Structure 1
């Protein structure tokens, strides 16, 4: 068994809500699963879809920030995973890294912002990084981004970079049927070629998105 501080992943035992009913552990998700996603204002759910799971370590001992709200909601995120929070003093919603969240922040659940009771650094076995079409994922009823600041790139720009892959996903499923999965669904410790491509060619990709200033 290995131990990792992989920058942007979820704990496999946390859950999401499925569009057709019920819940599913993140470790059991697969590409094509339809999930309910709470958009970042916290006021509406949208039907969403798991597009790809580019990286996972089912047997890897992983460090997570574990957030517990005053009402008992709990979520586990690795250091650099983005999460949607409300700033108490500024009354503003923003997306920051898990490692930057403090007890002064509030997490976003449906129609409410909820205060944190405690934050601890813990270890659990199994990490997963599902990517949705919306760029968000509601985990244990809490709104999160599916992205990480591994490249020191904000959520919005990462979602823009993923645009061509979403278009390809939609077109191929329209052409070949909705049981067709355009990207590999194999879960293993290797990073998916799409993620590797973005990491290797980020400087070139960035030239296509000059509107964003880092």
Structure 2
């Protein structure tokens, strides 16, 4: 099932129900296409929010969703901006988390794409209905991924807090020396 979303500027995008689209609201979050409503604001290629005029559903064949370095796709000749990620409900992850998780993959590609041969493009029939191996690995190891992510977040917060404490201490010592002299 595809959702074809048309804006008041007559740009359209056809995506599956789980495809993530950035909405212009207070949270600036990405939501699945199935949760979009008329008059919601989504983004055009130039970053300008535009209202949704209509949402239609239809059955279509073929899905193509490349993972990009930016995490975004320009759809239908650059009219509308969409995430290259989809909501995969068992993982409960956001666009931003998926983009962070795939950072090593993007770095590897960036570093090696100049001197390693690229794999040949798969035909549509070969790649139809397949999930990328990395996404499958993330799914089957989701508890480990959550644990590692939580630990990395906790360590980052601890290091940042310790850094702030040390800076505060140094500043306090400097101020006290100025007061004494």
TM superposition shift of 1:118: 0.8
Distance 2:122 2:143 in 1: 28
TM superposition shift of 1:111: 4.5
Q: CA RMSD in A?
A: 2.0
Distance 1:111 1:137 in 2: 13
Query: Normalized against structure 2, the TM-score is what?
Result: 0.71
Aligned residue pairs: how many? 143
SS at match of 1:68: strand
Distance 1:184 1:194 in 2: 18
Distance 2:57 2:3 in 1: 5
Cα 1:111/1:158, change in 2 over 3 Å: closer
Match for residue 142 of structure 1? Answer: 80
1:133 aligned to 69, 75, 85, which one?
A: 69
Q: Which has the higher contact order (CA 8 A, sep 6+)?
A: 1
Unaligned runs of 5+ in 2: 155-181
Cα 1:113/1:208, change in 2 over 3 Å: same
Could you report, residue by residue, the CA deviation over 1:106-133 in whole angstroms, capped at 9, with x for unpaired residues?
Answer: 1211152211111111111211121101
Match for residue 173 of structure 2? Answer: none
Unaligned runs of 5+ in 1: 1-62
Match for residue 13 of structure 2? Answer: 75
Structure having the higher Rg: 2
- List structure 1 segments (4+ residues) > 3 angstroms apart after TM superposition: none
Q: Which has the higher strand share?
A: 1
Match for residue 24 of structure 2? Answer: 86
Query: Normalized against structure 1, the TM-score is what?
Result: 0.61
SS at match of 2:55: strand
